[in-house]
Amino acid sequence: MRVHNRSMLAIAQNDHHALPILDSRTARPNVSPTIIPSKKRMPTMTIQTGDKLPDATFVKVTENGPEQVNTADYFKGRKVALFSVPGAFTPTCSAKHLPGFVDKADELKAKGVDEIVCTAVNDAFVMGAWGKSASAGDTVTMLADGNGDFAEAVGLTMDGKAFGMGKRGQRFSMIVNDGVVEQLNVEAPGEFKVSSADHMLEQL
């Protein structure tokens, strides 16, 4: 029996455990709840292949507490596979993006990658907890871009206010060699293809 779209949405709003999240336009289950509409993306990308990474500061959790990491020092003299996700513990990021780099770490390093870095606009403690839950260990370094300064510096922010997420970084990946971007892969809204570990392996 066909149910009116408005009725379906009302049911979903009243009982979020009864139905999956619904798309407001089609009333169909939204299997990718972290998708950000394209109009909410900020078309301000400034970083390009061949550019030097801008000066920015990340934070990572260490045994001695939070530690600041400067891009100029951290990326100097080595090849780094960096990928950015919209948020720690979010569905696609937790099910596919981070685990993909954990699983493919040995293959990436066999092709000359010195370090694998995951970043998101979350605080360092959240990033540390997420890395632990994903068994990232020393395989993937979790760098927090807590204020979104790095995402803003490279022009790859997005507006996640519709999802209660505020300003976030887009989903993308980079191969950075001695501080210079050799490969840049920015996902289209709602997709997970070019920023994956598998795609990066093909580029090396």
Instruction: Please give the positions annotated as active site.
Output: 93
Cβ atoms of 164 and 9 within 8 Å: the answer is no
State residue 158's pLDDT score. Answer: 86
State residue 46's pLDDT score. Answer: 83
Q: What is the pLDDT along the chain (204 residues), one digit of tens a residue?
A: 333 333 333 323 333 333 334 444 444 444 443 444 333 444 567 899 999 999 999 999 998 999 999 999 999 999 999 999 999 998 889 889 999 999 999 999 999 999 999 999 999 999 999 999 999 989 999 999 999 999 999 999 988 877 877 789 999 999 999 999 999 999 998 899 999 999 999 999
Domains within the chain, CATH numbers bracketed: 1-31 (no CATH), 38-203 (3.40.30.10)
- Please give the order of strands across the beta sheet that includes 79-84: 65-70, 57-62, 141-144, 115-120, 79-84, 172-177, 180-186
Cβ atoms of 108 and 197 within 8 Å: the answer is yes
State residue 44's pLDDT score. Answer: 66
Q: Where are the beta strands (DSSP E) in 51-197?
A: 57-62, 65-70, 79-84, 115-120, 141-144, 157-159, 167-169, 172-177, 180-186
